[in-house]
Amino acid sequence: MIKALAPFAVLLVSACSVLPEQVPVDLFQLPAPNVQAARAGPRLSTLRIDRALSSEALSGSRLLIMTADNQLQAFPNMRLAAPVPLLWRDWLLDAFWRDGRVGGLSAASEGLQSELELGGTLRAFQVDYTGPQAAAVIQYDATLIGTDGRQIVASQRFEARQALDTVEVASAIAAMGLAADRVAGELIEWVVQQGQAPSP
């Protein structure tokens, strides 16, 4: 039996010896939201935030680059800490928590009751090299939904561009964080204001 297995053992060792070494991959998270606690103004009792819809290209955990010929590439040897739609949802939850104007926040995946739900489509979450200067770009088509009857309360597109200091990954992540802060500032104000309007 041992003699019969010997050739297979040799083959296995040979196969292992030709496998390429794994290249180390760095994990990156977006910087924490730079959102200050609101001290006054209208407030919402409850809000749940859903995972954003996205294209297949944006559904993974790679930070993409849009080149001048409209090709999508990815920064090598790095990954985001979560798939982009999930990363974006969790980052928005943190931003709303820091703002403090929503009494009860939850993720839609938790299945908790809420008067309003924020969903939408992430159209862009990438570094854009198509212009004269590289820039981080976030484009989010937000939809605010009344959960009683699933009616649309309001919808609006939010977009921000932030120039990169250098073409390094760390600079790209920092620029993505600044672009996200700008989107969050407008988005939170919009959600709180639209949440005061009577349901259609």
Q: How many domains does the chain have?
A: 1
Place of tokens 């920064």: 75
154: Cα separation from own chain's centroid: 21
Cα–Cα distance, 187 to 75 (Å, whole number): 28
Cα–Cα distance, 191 to 153 (Å, whole number): 10
Question: 42 in a domain, yes or no?
Answer: no
Higher pLDDT, 2 or 147: 147
**pLDDT, mean of residues 168-196:** 95
Q: What is the CATH classification number for the domain harbouring 190?
A: 3.40.50.10610
- State the pLDDT confidence band at 23, using cuts at 50, 70 and 90: low
CA-CA-CA-CA dihedral for 82, 84, 88, 90, to nearest 10: -20
Determine the residue type at 5.
L
Cα–Cα distance, 130 to 133 (Å, whole number): 8
Question: 93 in a domain, yes or no?
Answer: yes
Question: 190 in a domain, yes or no?
Answer: yes
CA-CA-CA-CA dihedral for 93, 97, 99, 104, to nearest 10: 100
| pTM of the predicted model as reported, rounded to 2 decimal places | 0.85
Domain containing 165: what range? Answer: 24-31+47-196
Question: 181 in a domain, yes or no?
Answer: yes
End-to-end CA distance of the chain: 77
Q: Which two tokens stand for residue 200?
A: 């259609």
Question: 4 in a domain, yes or no?
Answer: no
Q: What is the pLDDT of residues 51-92, one digit of tens each?
A: 999 999 999 999 999 988 889 999 999 999 999 999 999 999
Q: What b/e string do you get for 54-80 counting C-beta neighbours within 10 Å, with b at 16 or more?
A: beeebeebbbbbbeeeeeeeebeebbb
Question: 91 in a domain, yes or no?
Answer: yes
Question: 186 in a domain, yes or no?
Answer: yes
Question: 37 in a domain, yes or no?
Answer: no
